[in-house]
Structure 1
Amino acid sequence: MRKRATAKEVAEAAGVSKWTVIRAFTPGASITAESKRRVLEAAEALNYSPNLLARSLATNLTHQIAVFVDDFANPHKLPFLEVLTERLQAEGLVAVLININRHFDHVHALLNADQRQVDAIILFGTAFRDETLRDRRLGPGLPPMFVLARDSQIEGVPAVACDAERALHEIVDYLHEKGYRRPGFMGGAKTLSTALGRRRHFIDCWRGKGVADVVELAAERYSAEEGADAVRKYLERTAAAERIDVLMCENDILALGAMDVVRSEFGLRVPEDVAVVGFDNLDLGASAAYDLTTYEQPKIEMMKAIVEMIMGQREAETVMLPGKLIVRGSA
């Protein structure tokens, strides 16, 4: 195997000290432009790259960020992860993806992340409770934590999310203006749904317009199958004259499953018989097969904010960012 070039060899080739080489590859370090140029040219000629493991031992930073995810069935996660990992890598950080499931819960994930000495933890759309931190298996000094894409339910842990209150006001204002008056809301699992806040704001907005009764449909998981099952049960037990005229779904994947059942199993027209609205703006929802009205979260701005907090470039505090209502044919 080809021998790896060392910092000492780069220093000799560039005519500088070993510490100058280290500073050249350390973001924010003090080094003259000429010295950095000479180091980078020598490094390129020798095919040198810094040893990040050795650097982590010296700086007590691993440049690894743990990302906890517990809902891989939801297709909106992949575009978010694409933007997040791109933003982290641009700052010289790498994401360590940890799958939260029935075999590997939050406590085990925290222990795993702490053992790896990650620099921070991102709770991406995962239902995490404050009491988890009081588990006796966890020691003091856990890495800084941030909640992404939902409200934080942990004291002292900031969140970066789409502004749910503003989003649902925009959606309800639009639906009310279009003449809908018998709204329904389909949410996911209660612990996840509560942290999103969309159900609460949807109901409050309709009450503000004099509509006190909002029908609630419950899906156990965020999947098309669960969305289909929830709306199927509702339509089977509800007389046609008493049905809702618009269904707001907590996310697009629930909405797509609901639309399939509404049209194929019950022969209803969308939006003439019942309108459907989602949240997330999945690519599939934009297709002619669904033409789904939805709300787009500001992915780029959200990832920029959370990475800046991790890097110490902005204050670590909860940030709620505005998204955009996308009006299509389903409502």
Structure 2
Amino acid sequence: MRKRETVRRTTAKEVAAAAGVSKWTVIRAFTPGSSITDESKRRVMEAAAALNYSPNLLARSLATNSTRQVAVFVDDFRNPQKLPFLETLTERLQAAGLVAMLININNHFDHVHALLHADQRQVDAVILFGTAFRDETLTDRQLGNGMPPMFVLARDSQIDGVPAVVCDAELALRDIVDHLHDRGYRRPGFMSGAPALSTALRRRQHFTDFWAGKGVSEVELLSAEKYSAEAGADSVRQYLSQSTPGNRIDVLMCENDILALGAMDEIRGGFGLRVPDDIAIVGFDNYELSGSSAYSLTTYEQPRHEMIDAIIGMIVGSIKAETMTLPGKMIVRKST
């Protein structure tokens, strides 16, 4: 087999010589936010293009003590509502000169392994997105001091010192319950998703509290094992099979849109009931399919772009790293 020839990379020193500047000026020219004159940057870029030069990010990370990498932990990839968040998150990270390292938290790769993996790669930060992260994880003896800073996206942080950027669940559920109460619904139900993740959303608690404030103390609680349309359908099927028409809920709030879409399919297709005439449905997140004529789902939209901009600002240091709660907006459609 013919041995592959090694192509020598052009160095920053060679670019500096061609541009008539110092090596450190070349480094600054390729470092976002660095102080450099327009003329110097122009000369460096022209020389770099002529010599086919690209910076060695590994070498730069050793010099700057920053890899510009951010680890993103996700443990519910089956939830399709994660995709719009991940699309926006990776786009905004790249625009800020950062690169996302996506890590799948699962039965074979838990949080401790993921944190050790991220630390060994010297990431600049860790974003916990849709993960059930607990205090005891941080006290694991395998984890030493100096771990990268952590942030929680789209869920409340359960850990002191780990800030979260989250949609205002209290405001959201107040708006939802006010809307449902004004429409005349009085027999509410709530479907929660994966137990380990639901606790960090607080949506069920706010839902029951606001109904109690309106004199409705009984809220039927349904549970789905995971965030999927199939799980939503299974949960509502079990409830409807065990209840009688005269005693059923008249509105079902689902913890997210995917559960709501699955529940709606089962209510209409499996039991021949009408939405909203027999049972009204509400979701959360304003998933793309929710606005289609097939569903026309009433839901609540999180301020995705603002949340992601805030968490990136905390990572790069332009915003103080502290828990931030942002308002979303109610989207009323035909399902209520």
Superposition TM-score, scaled by structure 2 size: 0.96
Q: Name 1:245's counterpart in structure 2.
A: 250
Give 1:45 deviation, angstroms.
Answer: 2.8
In structure 1, what is the Cα distance between the partners aligned to 2:216 and 2:20?
A: 76
Q: Is 1:134 paired with 2:157?
A: no
Give 1:63 deviation, angstroms.
Answer: 0.8
Residue 90 of structure 1, aligned match among 66, 70, 95 = 95
DSSP 3-state at the match of 2:33: coil
Q: How does 1:145-156 map to 2 (within 5 A)?
A: 145-156=150-161
Give 1:320 deviation, angstroms.
Answer: 0.8
Corresponding residue pairs, total: 331
Residue 196 of structure 1, aligned match among 196, 201, 208 = 201
Give 1:3 deviation, angstroms.
Answer: 4.0
DSSP 3-state at the match of 1:196: coil
Give 1:41 deviation, angstroms.
Answer: 2.1
Structure 1: which amino acid aligns with 2:208? I
DSSP 3-state at the match of 2:126: strand
User: 1:242-282 CA distances to partner (integer Å, 9 max, x unpaired)?
Assistant: 10000000001100110011001111000000000101111
Q: Is 1:105 paired with 2:103?
A: no
Deviant stretches of 4+, over 6 Å: none
Q: How does 1:231-242 map to 2 (within 5 A)?
A: 231-242=236-247
Residue 6 of structure 1, aligned match among 3, 7, 11 = 11
Residue 280 of structure 1, aligned match among 285, 290, 297 = 285
Q: Name 2:84's counterpart in structure 1.
A: 79
In structure 2, what is the Cα distance between the partners aligned to 1:143 and 1:236?
A: 49
Q: How does 1:63-78 map to 2 (within 5 A)?
A: 63-78=68-83
Residue 36 of structure 1, aligned match among 33, 36, 41 = 41
Once the two structures are aligned, what percentage of the paired residues are identical? 75
In structure 1, what is the Cα distance between the partners aligned to 2:9 and 2:166?
A: 43
DSSP 3-state at the match of 1:320: strand
Gaps of 5+ in 2: 1-5
Q: Is 1:319 paired with 2:324?
A: yes
In structure 1, what is the Cα distance between the partners aligned to 2:19 and 2:280?
A: 68
Residue 167 of structure 2, aligned match among 128, 140, 162 = 162
In structure 1, what is the Cα distance between the partners aligned to 2:60 and 2:161?
A: 30
Tell me which moved more, 268-277 or 33-42: 33-42
DSSP 3-state at the match of 1:176: helix
Residue 46 of structure 1, aligned match among 40, 48, 51 = 51
Residue 17 of structure 1, aligned match among 14, 17, 22 = 22
Give 1:165 deviation, angstroms.
Answer: 0.6
Tell me which moved more, 1-10 or 263-272: 1-10
Q: Name 1:289's counterpart in structure 2.
A: 294
Superposition TM-score, scaled by structure 1 size: 0.98
Give 1:47 deviation, angstroms.
Answer: 2.7
Residue 307 of structure 1, aligned match among 306, 312, 316 = 312
Structure 1: which amino acid aligns with 2:312? V
In structure 1, what is the Cα distance between the partners aligned to 2:108 and 2:199?
A: 24
**Considering only aligned residues, what root-mean-square deviation do their CA atoms show, in Å?**
1.1
